[in-house]
């Protein structure tokens, strides 16, 4: 039996994000709801363009024009009590971003300023959020580089980003994001731009940090292997919606949504026997004109008449599992 944690860190309720383009309104996120609990690694997984990165950015309202959060509530459980991110001022949000909710993005080169040393950039985050003065922040920067297992941290702290390898730069980005000991760390495809051996090292580092620092981690990935290795619970996204949610071990052993089954057939299943890999027939829908009813119906081998016109409700299967599919509606 799976034991569920109970203390919420963040709760997303009925989130809708639209992008207003010349071609039309892209309904990138349509009614996404989930909670993340203290100490867990929660994964959002799905194909490119399914809305997982947009969802993660929306958690601190980091959606840039022409995008807009058109509906939804995002409750963040601060030590001082819950706040609705949607109602905070920009100034209040800046206090939370980087300090209580920190991000690691996929491109470490873009995340670092080429003009400043890595020590300065780690220290600056602490000074900006008033968690240390400059002297203390520089001293802590070396310890932070040690904690992200940077070789020769006393020397590296004085390096500029271009003097480091891609893997080292990502360690610095992780160090910057950890410098204020955030309540929630969001890692958006943190290994995508790194080569395979470095990818494994960075994932291993995140796992160790999570254990040592007792962090809560939201991991965004398209890779089911990473989900199996890293996550406690997973939400599978398709075309701007969550279609299945549950403990990773249960979802991998017994996927319920036809899309999740397809995803797992398309990769070697790390928790099951390796079978012939199959891709999911068809293509992801255009989110300016999403299909009516179930957005997966044009690709679904189990499609029924109702699926073409009515959106399936999210069905609670118990044991923390949910699925949005007419096959489970009684
Ligand atoms: Fe397939 Fe219908 Fe379920 Fe959608 S609701 S996944 S079309 S069976």
pLDDT at 292 over 90: yes
Is residue 52 classed as helix, strand or coil in its secondary structure? Answer: helix
Give the pLDDT confidence of 187-238 residue by residue, as tens digits. 998 887 777 777 888 888 888 888 887 789 999 998 888 899 899 999 999 9
C-alpha 192, offset from chain centre: 13
Report how far residue 323's alpha carbon sits from residue 317's, in angstroms, rounded to the nearest whole number.
Answer: 7
Query: pLDDT tens digit string along 133-179?
Result: 888 888 889 988 888 888 888 999 899 999 998 888 888 888 888 88
Ligand 1 midpoint to CA 68 (Å) = 29
Rounded distance, CA 169 to CA 150, Å? 10
| pLDDT over 80 at 271, yes or no | no
Report d(CA 95, CA 93) in Å as an integer.
Answer: 5
**pLDDT in the model for residue 273:** 55
Residues with CB under 6 A from ligand 1: 257-258, 294, 296-297, 300, 302-304, 307, 312, 325-327
Q: What is this structure's pTM?
A: 0.90
**Predicted confidence (pLDDT) per residue in 4-39, tens digit:** 557 999 999 999 999 999 999 999 999 999 999 999
CA-nearest of 65, 40, 41, 43 to 52 is: 43
**pLDDT for 299:** 93
- Please, are residues 188 and 220 in contact by the beta-carbon 8 Å criterion? yes
CA distances from 309 to 12, 153, 198, 284, 293 (A): 27, 59, 46, 18, 4
Closest CA to 241 of 262, 254, 217, 260: 260
- Percentage of the chain beyond pLDDT 90 is 58
Distance 263 CA to ligand 1 centre (A): 15
From 129-133, 255-259, 324-328, the region with the lowest mean pLDDT: 129-133
From its phi and psi, is residue 152 left (phi > 0), alpha (psi between -120 and 50) or beta? Answer: left
d(CA 150, CA 172) in angstroms, rounded, equals 8
Task: Indicate the top mutation candidate among 281, 295, 303 to test ligand 1's pocket, ranked by most ligand atoms within 8 A of CB.
Answer: 303
Contact 134, 164 (CB under 8 A): no
Distance of alpha carbon 121 from its chain centroid, rounded? Answer: 23
């Amino acid at each position: 039996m799976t034991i569920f944690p109970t203390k919420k860190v963040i709760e997303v309720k009925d989130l809708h994000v639209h992008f207003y383009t010349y071609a039309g309104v892209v309904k990138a996120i349509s009614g996404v709801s989930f909670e993340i609990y203290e100490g867990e690694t929660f994964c959002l997984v799905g194909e490119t363009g399914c809305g997982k990165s947009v969802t993660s950015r929306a958690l601190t309202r980091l959606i840039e024009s022409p995008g807009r959060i058109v509906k939804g509530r995002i409750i963040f459980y601060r030590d001082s009590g819950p706040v609705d991110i949607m109602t905070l001022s920009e100034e209040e949000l800046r206090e939370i971003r980087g300090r209580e909710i920190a991000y690691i993005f996929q491109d470490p080169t873009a995340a670092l300023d080429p003009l400043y040393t890595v020590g300065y950039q780690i220290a600056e985050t602490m000074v900006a959020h008033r968690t240390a003065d400059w002297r203390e922040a520089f001293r802590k920067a070396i310890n932070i580089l040690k904690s992200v297992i940077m070789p020769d941290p006393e020397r590296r702290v004085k390096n500029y980003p271009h003097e480091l390898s891609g893997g080292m730069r990502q360690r610095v980005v992780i160090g910057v994001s950890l410098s204020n000991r955030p309540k929630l760390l969001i890692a958006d495809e943190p290994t995508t731009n790194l080569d395979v051996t470095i990818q494994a090292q960075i994932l291993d580092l995140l796992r160790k940090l999570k254990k040592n620092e007792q962090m809560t981690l939201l991991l965004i990935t398209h890779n089911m292997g990473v989900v199996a290795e890293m996550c406690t619970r997973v939400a599978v996204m398709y075309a701007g919606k969550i279609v299945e949610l549950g403990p990773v071990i249960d979802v991998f052993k017994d996927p319920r949504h036809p899309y999740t089954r397809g995803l797992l057939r398309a990769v070697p299943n790390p928790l099951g026997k390796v079978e012939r890999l199959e891709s999911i027939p068809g293509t992801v829908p255009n989110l300016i004109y999403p299909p009516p009813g179930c957005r997966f119906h044009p690709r679904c081998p189990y499609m029924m008449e109702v699926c073409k016109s009515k959106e399936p409700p999210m069905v609670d299967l118990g044991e923390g599992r949910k699925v949005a599919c007419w096959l489970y509606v009684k």
